[in-house]
Structure 1
């Protein structure tokens, strides 16, 4: 048996298409790159990526994290729920990644990075969160950032944690 990856991309903000006409295809390639970082179980693995605006992300951030402000990327990992049933033969639901257009664009500009590069990093960063990677403490942050840097290099994108970057 093999692993089949299904990625649903939803476009809730038209500015994404204007900035990256191939945003949907990019999401698929970027998520697949991040998923290659771990050994996935046989069967179907699903996740969704929502390309939203700051207002949507701010609402989610306020309602789920108690922070009434937009952020660049939010990840809602289904595997964080230890009580969630894993049904044999059913798809493994990894969760959702939601990106905020205005925040992502502003950060890319502030950091002097191509928008596509910053977007790529945030998609990979969000998918790694779905896989259990985090940056809550120094050791976790070092591990996650090193993996992100390696994956970005494999994609031909400069290290996102160079001196000018403040990180996601």
Structure 2
């Protein structure tokens, strides 16, 4: 079972949007055949907040759309009986999500779901630091979104 804690103090998202994200993330966890109890935190923040986080923790003083902080390199390293594995945190800039939805000519919902999935895959160890990894991760994102019924249309 996967538990998701949402942090949205400024109400950047609706309850329906958070429910949709929770459904997609749980779908992804099952799709990837993950069976450990786990938990993840998803926060929705302003451009100023994400820029500060990006600057302070990644030495990049710029606004971005999503940042993920994985707590473990490999969730198999921790197995405390009866305790869920804490995968990490996903931080999403909803203003950037709105802008990118317009730029890519698809819905805000699709962009918000894409960013949530992208961040979640980072927590599961996927990355796009080189061409091979990028192809794998982006291919998996598309595969999951298509299987979930959320194509780019």
**Same fold, TM-score > 0.5, yes or no:** yes
Give the distance between the partners of 1:135 and 1:159, measured in 2 at CA.
20
- State the SS of the aligned residue for 2:26: helix
Deviations 1:21-64 (A, max 9, x none): 5122112112112222433244x211111111111111111111
Give the distance between the partners of 2:145 and 2:74, measured in 1 at CA.
29
Give the distance between the partners of 1:49 and 1:32, measured in 2 at CA.
13
Specify every segment of 5 or more residues in structure 1 that has no aligned partner in the other structure, as ranges.
Answer: 161-168
Alignment of 1:111-130 (within 5 A): 111-130=104-123
Give the distance between the partners of 1:34 and 1:67, measured in 2 at CA.
29
Give the distance between the partners of 1:100 and 1:129, measured in 2 at CA.
16
1:14 aligns with 2:11: yes
CA contact (8 A) 1:27 1:49 kept: no
Specify every segment of 5 or more residues in structure 2 that has no aligned partner in the other structure, as ranges.
Answer: none
2:149 aligned residue = 156
Instruction: Indicate the RMSD between aligned Cα atoms, in angstroms.
Output: 2.0
| TM-score w.r.t. length of structure 1 | 0.82
Alignment of 1:30-49 (within 5 A): 30-42=24-36, 44-49=37-42
Give the distance between the partners of 1:81 and 1:65, measured in 2 at CA.
21
| TM-score w.r.t. length of structure 2 | 0.89
Of residues 58-67 and 32-41 in structure 1, the stretch that sits farther from structure 2 once superposed is 32-41
Give the distance between the partners of 2:61 and 2:78, measured in 1 at CA.
31
> Runs of 4 or more off by more than 4 Å in structure 1?
none
Give the distance between the partners of 1:157 and 1:81, measured in 2 at CA.
29
